[in-house]
Amino acid sequence: MILILAPEISPQSDFYRQLMAHLAQLPGISTRVHEERGAQKTLLEVYLIGNTAALDLDAMRALPGVERVVRVSEEYRILGRHHDDQRSCEFVYNGVRFGQDNLNVFAGLCAVDTREHVEIMLRTLQTHGQPCTRMGAYKPRTNPYSFQGHGKSCLPYVFELAGKYAIKVIAMEVTHESHVDEIRAALHATGQATGVMLQIGTRNTQNFELLKIVGKQAEFPVLLKRGFGITLEESLNAAEYLASEGNRMIVFGLRGMKTNMGDPHRNFVDFAHVPVVKRLTRMPVCIDPSHSVGTRDASPDRILDVMHVTAQGVIAGANMILVDFHPAPGKALVDGPQALRLDELAWFLDDIAIARSAYEKRVARAQQTVSN
Ligand code: PEP
Ligand code: MN
C-alpha cells in the first residue's frame, strides 16, 4: 500500500511526525519513504510493507496529511500501474521531458571511435534540432577480441562537444560502478556541459548488483534494456530493482529478442510490447530498431527495415527511439552494418513524424469511441 501525502507535507512537519508515529505502531507493518520529485512539485510517498491486507483503506485515507492511498497489486510495486493509480508517468532531466505521452529521438554513434566522427554526428543533430543522442564509451562485446570502446579517455571530448552543439542528454551504457563515477567526474570537469542517461544493456538486465548501484544514485536517469533471452516479466522486475533502490527516472527499452541464426533480422522485433509495457507500468518505453534489425536491408518499397520497425513502434506509442547513425558506417568500429547514414537523418525524422501523427490520430479516434 502506498500513502501519497499532500504536497504541503514536508518531512519536518508535525503532520508527518504524527503520521509516522502512528504507522510505527501498526502491527506487522514497516515503512519506506520516497520523495517523488516531479516537474512542478515534490511528493512524499510512504510505502507500507507487510500485512497491508489487514489495513482499512478509508482509515488510511483519513490519516493526517494523507492525500491519496493506492493499494498495490503484487507485480511491480513501485513502477506498476495499480488500480486507481494516478501517479505521474514522467520526469524531466536536464530540460528534456520523458513521459508515456511524448517522444524523444536519440540518434547517434553505437560506439565512439574518433573525435572527428563525434563532432560530425553532434553538429548534424544540432542542424536537425535534435537535443539528444546515443554514444557508447564502454562497449560490452560478445567477442573478447573485439573493440571494447575507448572508455573514460573519450569522455572529456564527447561531453565538451555535446555542450558545444547544445546536446542535453547522451544515452551511454555502463557495465560497472566505476563507469558511473568516471562519467560523473568527466561531466564535472566540463562544467556539466551536457547530461547522461545511463544505459543498462541487454546483457546486464539481470546484473542485480549493477542495478542496485545504478538505482541508488539519483543524479542520472536510466535506460534499462529488456533482456534478450528472458521473459518480459523478468525484465520488468529488473526495472523494479532500480526503482526499489530509489531512482524513479527509468525508461524501459525494447531491443528485440534472440532468435534463430539465419533469420532475416539480428533479433526478433518485439515492439508489439510497447503498449503492454505502458499498460503494466508507468515507465516511458524506448525502442531500439538498430539492435533489433541489425542490417541496412530495405524492402521493395525502398524503406529500410530499420525505418519500418521504427514506424511500427512509434505508431504503437513508443516514447523514445535509440538508433545507430554513423558519418561513415563502413569505418564504424561497432555495428557499422546496421548504422544509418547522416544524409538519411532528415528522412528518418520525417518518417517518425508521419508515424507519430498516425498514432495521435489513433488515440483521438479511440477516445471518441470511449466517450460515446
Ligand atoms: C547498444 O545499445 O549499444 C547495445 C549494446 O544494445 P543492447 O544492450 O540492446 O545489445
Ligand atoms: Mn551496438
Q: Which atom of ligand 1 is nearest to the CA of 204?
A: 8
Residue 180's nearest CA partner among 155, 148, 202 is 155
Per DSSP, the three-state class of 135 is strand
* pLDDT band at residue 250 under the 50/70/90 scheme: very high
Question: Using CA positions, which residue lies closest to atom 4 of ligand 1?
Answer: 201
- 195 Cβ closer than 6 Å to some ligand 1 atom: no
- AA letter at 100: Q
* pLDDT band at residue 106 under the 50/70/90 scheme: very high
pLDDT at 66 over 80: yes
Q: How many residues does the chain have?
A: 372
184 phi, psi to nearest 5 deg: -60, -45
Give per-residue pLDDT as tens, 328-369.
999 999 999 999 999 999 999 999 999 999 999 999 999 998
Asked if 137 contacts 353 with a C-beta cutoff of 8 angstroms, the reply is no
pLDDT at 333: 95
pLDDT at 39: 64
> Number of C-alpha atoms within 13 angstroms, CB side, residue 60?
21
**What does the alpha-carbon distance between residue 341 and residue 6 come to, in Å, rounded to a whole number?**
50
Q: Which atom of ligand 1 is nearest to the CA of 203?
A: 8
Lowest mean pLDDT among 40-49, 58-67, 358-367: 40-49
Asked if 240 contacts 248 with a C-beta cutoff of 8 angstroms, the reply is no
- AA letter at 68: R
| pLDDT (mean) for 92-109 | 98
C-alpha 372 to ligand 2 mean position (Å): 46
C-alpha 271 to ligand 1 mean position (Å): 16
Asked if 5 contacts 56 with a C-beta cutoff of 8 angstroms, the reply is no
The DSSP result for 205-265, as a single string, is: TT-HHHHHHHHH--SS-EEEEPPTTS-HHHHHHHHHHHHHTT---EEEEE--B---TTSSS
Q: Which atom of ligand 1 is nearest to the CA of 290?
A: 2
Percent of the chain whose pLDDT exceeds 70 = 99
* Per-residue cell: 176: 560497472
**What does the alpha-carbon distance between residue 72 and residue 63 come to, in Å, rounded to a whole number?**
18
**Helix or strand (DSSP H, E) at 122:** helix 115-127
Neighbours of ion ligand 2 (CB under 5 A): 110, 335
Question: Using CA positions, which residue lies closest to atom 5 of ligand 1?
Answer: 201
* pLDDT band at residue 42 under the 50/70/90 scheme: confident
Residue 321's nearest CA partner among 295, 297, 296, 345 is 345
Give per-residue pLDDT as tens, 207-239.
999 999 999 999 999 999 999 999 999 999 999
| pLDDT (mean) for 31-57 | 85
* pLDDT band at residue 123 under the 50/70/90 scheme: very high
**What does the alpha-carbon distance between residue 254 and residue 269 come to, in Å, rounded to a whole number?**
8
Give per-residue pLDDT as tens, 251-295.
999 999 998 877 999 999 999 999 999 999 999 999 999 999 999
> Number of C-alpha atoms within 13 angstroms, CB side, residue 107?
31
Mean per-residue pLDDT over the chain, rounded: 95
Per DSSP, the three-state class of 337 is helix
Tell me the whole-structure pTM to 2 decimals.
0.92
| pLDDT (mean) for 132-160 | 96
| pLDDT (mean) for 39-60 | 87
**What does the alpha-carbon distance between residue 268 and residue 260 come to, in Å, rounded to a whole number?**
9
**What does the alpha-carbon distance between residue 180 and residue 184 come to, in Å, rounded to a whole number?**
6
C-alpha 201 to ligand 1 mean position (Å): 5
Distances from the Cα of 159 to the Cαs of 92, 148, 166, 170, 220, in angstroms? 20, 19, 10, 9, 15
Lowest mean pLDDT among 44-58, 70-84, 284-298, 341-355: 70-84
C-alpha 251 to ligand 2 mean position (Å): 18
| Mutate which of 132, 288, 335, 338 for ligand 1 pocket (most atoms within 8 A of beta carbon) | 288
C-alpha 365 to ligand 1 mean position (Å): 35
| pLDDT (mean) for 172-184 | 98
pLDDT at 372 over 80: no
145: buried, middle or exposed (CB in 10 Å: 19+, 13-18, 0-12)? exposed
* pLDDT band at residue 73 under the 50/70/90 scheme: confident
| Mutate which of 179, 199, 271, 306 for ligand 1 pocket (most atoms within 8 A of beta carbon) | 199
pLDDT at 88: 81
Percent of the chain whose pLDDT exceeds 90 = 86
pLDDT at 85: 78
- 266 Cβ closer than 6 Å to some ligand 1 atom: no
pLDDT at 340: 98
Residue 33's nearest CA partner among 61, 67, 5 is 5
